[in-house]
Amino acid sequence: MDHVASERHWVAWHRQYDVTGSSLHRRLAIVQRRIRETLEVQPAGEIRVLSMCAGQGRDILGVLADHPRRDDVRARLVELDPDLAADASRRVRALGLGGVEVVVGDASDTGVYDGAAPADLVLVCGLFGNLGDADIRNTVEWLPRLCQPAATVIWTRHRRAPDRTPAVRSWFAAAGFSEVAFDVEEGFLLGVGTHRLVRPTLPYRPGIRLFDFIGDGEDARR
């Protein structure tokens, strides 16, 4: 798939979020519920959020549209596709979210998080289904470098056979995270994990490549 075709593919892929009853529509609702719960228990003051491969930012922006802590949030949404990033930026402006920035950049390059990490909430949604096992594990092991103490990470991964979500959950545990929830829905292959960091954080380091994107997102539609 060439670069232009790839951009068109991902723009079309995101339209599935608007299809009521689709896997992506249902997954989005679960992710937004977990984001709301996370924001509601944050202490007073600034809440820092990072979103890797943020797409149109539907998950966090949909919550911040009416959340009472919206003005406390300082978020960086990282998205490589410029059309999707432009959609997210338009939504940010429409909602008047002065604390949210959208960066057109490669989420696999840790340099894009400079100045925004460490965060209280890290969103890794729509990513793990498009990575090989080694890159998923490497990303999970690196997440403590993007996290504040007791930070929450919300991630998604399809459960198509062979289901790798048990392995991903074990990698989070090994990296020092406690599982808050793992949400599934009958009749769908979606999985949404919510984990909280319970080990000491690690220092942020720029210039590290975390993963290579290999999938086309089709499994996430199921």
Give residue-wise pLDDT tens across range 119-151.
Answer: 999 999 999 999 999 999 999 999 999 999 999
Q: Are 93 and 84 a contacting pair, CB within 8 Å? A: no
> Tokens at residue 67, please?
């959340």
Q: Are 152 and 181 a contacting pair, CB within 8 Å? A: no
Kindly report the pTM of this predicted structure.
0.91
Is the predicted pLDDT of residue 1 greater than 90, yes or no?
A: no
Give residue-wise pLDDT tens across range 12-42.
Answer: 555 666 666 788 999 999 999 999 999 999 9
For residue 136, the model assigns a pLDDT of 98
Residue percentage of the chain with pLDDT more than 90? 85
Strand partners for 128: none
Give residue-wise pLDDT tens across range 41-61.
Answer: 999 999 999 999 999 999 999
Domains, in order of start, for the chain: 3-221 (3.40.50.150)
> Tokens at residue 211, please?
């993963």
Q: Which residues are CB-contacts of 132 (< 8 A; sequence separation ≥ 6)?
A: 212, 214
Identify the DSSP state of 14: H
For residue 22, the model assigns a pLDDT of 84
Task: Walk across the sheet containing 191-197 and list its strands.
Answer: 100-104, 73-79, 47-51, 119-124, 147-156, 191-197, 177-184
Buried b (16+ CB within 10 A) or exposed e, 81-102: beebbebbbebbeeeebebbbb
CA 77/CA 95 separation, integer angstroms:
15
Q: Are 59 and 125 a contacting pair, CB within 8 Å? A: yes
- Interior CA angle at 138 toward 23 and 222, to 5°? 10
Grade residue 4 by pLDDT with cuts at 50, 70 and 90. very low
